[in-house]
Structure 1
Amino acid sequence: MNALNSSLLQNVSFMRPEYFYISGFSEIPVIKYYFIGLIFIYIIAVFGNSFVIFMICTDQSLHIPRYIGILNLALADFGETNALIPNLIKTFLFDSQYISYNACLANMFFVFFFSSVQALTLVVLAYDRFIAICLPLRYHAIVNNSIMSVALSTAWSFSTALIGATVILITRLSFCKSNVVKSYFCDHGPVYTIACNDSTVNSVMAKLCTALLVYAPFIAIVGSYLGILLALSRITTWAGRLKALKTCVSHLLVVGIFFLPFLGTYIAAITFSLHPNARIISTSLSSAIPPMVNPIIYVLNTKKFKDFVMKMLKKRSSVMIQASAK
């Protein structure tokens, strides 16, 4: 029987749907309140990341390795926000849950691409903190603008190659049974699982991407902080330890916000039966919230950012005073 089914599937003509139907939010009650939250998240994320990009680009004192990494993170956050949330808002505003085949592939690529750049940038920033605390006397020799730029360029190139290959492999699939994607965007897993021909390669790529872009970065970051804790234990005074650890607070918060929701949802899904609606809400929030929160964390916890904001406010107030005097 299995052989017969396999033979029949091989004889089915290749079918590529004109549209996919994104069904993720269709069965969730009181979802209109979630729509209001998405608008709030989008505005804060776009404004916050644009402001961080503007600060770093215009202030010469911020043209150093650490802030180049933060600039890269803000660019990735800005990109993911615009790849993901406008489509979600469109779904609510126009009750439009259909997306064309090519638009689906583009949506899939950009959401995963910018998310992977975020993960790899967090690894680069962890490396920066590791060198700064564990090898402070050699920091400027090991970490400079050129090395940071090469590391970040590698992250973008690697993400482009891996995510690009993953999305291209979707084009080999035939969709002769269903075009309903049970997710909140053109998610890779829900798309390839509705194909009617063999999707083993796609499944392998999904596992490879998860390993290389989620677990490996998280393990690398944990390893770097174990090294940092070891270095801190060698500092004789508590004041010295706290001063060194304070430089890591922003990065640790961003790492926690990025990785922990995903890992928590995954653990919950394999530990007990997680309701599909709960999975969709939790995964969509874990994708949307980090780009909103990251710039807030860095601005509030970085003295140079706070100094820049105060300088801008003083400049604005002086201009207003001069205008009123005229």
Structure 2
Amino acid sequence: MENRSYVSDILVLEELGHYESFADAVFYTLLFAYIALLITNFGVLVIIIREKSLHQPMYLLFCNLTVNDILGNTVILPQLLFDMVAKNRLISYNACVSQIFFTHTFASASHTILIIMAIDRYVAICNPLRYNSIMTAKAVAVLTVSAWSFVIVLVGVLVGLTTRLSRCRSLIPNFYCDNASLFKLSCEDVSINNIYGLFYTVVLFSSSMGTVAVTYIRIGITCWTKKNAELNSKAIQTCTSHLVLYLILLLSGFIIIIMHRFPEDRFLRKLMAIIFLVIPAHLNPIIYGLQTKHLRLKILQIFKRKIFPFKLSYLVIKLLNANGIVM
């Protein structure tokens, strides 16, 4: 019975695993987190698009990250919220494959986007006089297309190797579809899937960590040798936000990988998966918005003009100044 192909196109997703008494709290927390995520990311995206002064490579590259965060969370969270309300954990095979493709694209693109942002920071700090001639609109477009194309090829092969397999089971051991959970439904030999999965992970993380390490080492050397106070201030101001975002992404990714090695603790693994989705996507616009001077000032100007009454906006900006947030 175990070796028979399972021909049904309907798969069953595992429950999130929360206690029934906390069901409402979990649902509304995730709903609020998703809405807040959309507001903050779309807000930053709209500000960058509308403000011509922000049409600079650094901000245009950051738009990729906000779009990616919206995409990744929209693929998973609405489906999870619907399943919690409807008590229906069924998903079609084609929808499952699509979810796998987009979730892995989201996770991988987070790395490649931060790679091209690191390259941009390297050029800005180490070659400031040539920055405008190097980071042209064409260069930004090429870097963006390269980042997404690299990910699509890697993920396309990953998903293609899984879809070739027949299935003898129907229960996805996760609350959303991921590649490992789907190919484990097969009773065929999945060695090639495991080998390519390892190759995929090593290539992605080594290229990501290697590029970021090299660029920041070069930036550090440049700041150390030139001993220019203005250059050092610019490096700290523009690189800190990028580095914090990258470290959060790296830590989240490593936690997910480690938790996959402990399949018996399923609830904790699922909780970590949600944290990996939600927390970085919330922190990205906040960290980048507050740490990057020009973007921060534009956000505060919009709050002053359109959202807060004059006296309240004055008090908020004064409070931010007192805490050293506005420079």
The alignment's TM-score, normalised by the length of structure 1, stands at 0.85
Structure 2: how far apart are the matches of 1:318 and 1:18?
52
Match of 2:236 in 1: 245
Structure 2: how far apart are the matches of 1:173 and 1:198?
9
Distance 1:81 1:156, change over 3 A: same
Distance 1:274 1:23, change over 3 A: closer
Match of 1:233 in 2: 224
| Structure 1 gap ranges (5+) | 1-7, 321-326
Q: Identity percentage over the alignment?
A: 28
Q: Does 1:289 align with 2:279?
A: yes
Structure 1: how far apart are the matches of 2:247 and 2:26?
23
Structure 1: how far apart are the matches of 2:181 and 2:144?
30
- The answer to whether the 8 Å contact 1:42/1:292 transfers is no
Amino acid aligned to 1:48: T
- The answer to whether the 8 Å contact 2:65/2:110 transfers is yes
Structure 2: how far apart are the matches of 1:223 and 1:24?
43
Q: Does 1:171 align with 2:169?
A: no
Structure 2: how far apart are the matches of 1:170 and 1:293?
33
Structure 2: how far apart are the matches of 1:318 and 1:159?
41
Amino acid aligned to 1:55: I
Displacement of 1:265 after TM fit? 4.4
* Cα displacement string for residues 177-222 of structure 1 (whole angstroms, at most 9, x for unaligned residues): x211112210111211221112222222322221233342123212
Stretch moving more, 162-171 or 52-61: 162-171
Match of 1:217 in 2: 208
Amino acid aligned to 1:36: Y
What is the aligned counterpart of 2:29 among 15, 37, 46? Answer: 37
User: What SS does the aligned partner of 2:11 have?
Assistant: strand
User: What SS does the aligned partner of 1:247 have?
Assistant: helix
Match of 2:140 in 1: 148
* Cα displacement string for residues 273-305 of structure 1 (whole angstroms, at most 9, x for unaligned residues): 872322221122112221122111111112222
The alignment's TM-score, normalised by the length of structure 2, stands at 0.85
- The answer to whether the 8 Å contact 1:175/1:194 transfers is yes
Q: How does 1:64-83 map to 2 (within 5 A)?
A: 64-83=56-75
What is the aligned counterpart of 1:124 among 110, 116, 126? Answer: 116
- The answer to whether the 8 Å contact 2:58/2:117 transfers is yes
Q: Does 1:306 align with 2:292?
A: no
User: What SS does the aligned partner of 1:174 have?
Assistant: coil
Structure 2: how far apart are the matches of 1:17 and 1:205?
27
Stretch moving more, 201-210 or 191-200: 201-210
Match of 1:159 in 2: 151
| Structure 2 gap ranges (5+) | 311-327
- The answer to whether the 8 Å contact 1:56/1:63 transfers is yes
Structure 1: how far apart are the matches of 2:77 and 2:307?
35
User: What SS does the aligned partner of 1:17 have?
Assistant: coil
Q: Does 1:185 align with 2:171?
A: no
Distance 1:319 1:40, change over 3 A: closer
- The answer to whether the 8 Å contact 2:259/2:269 transfers is no
Stretch moving more, 13-22 or 79-88: 13-22
Structure 2: how far apart are the matches of 1:165 and 1:283?
23
Alignment size in residue pairs: 310
Amino acid aligned to 2:109: V
- The answer to whether the 8 Å contact 1:24/1:181 transfers is no
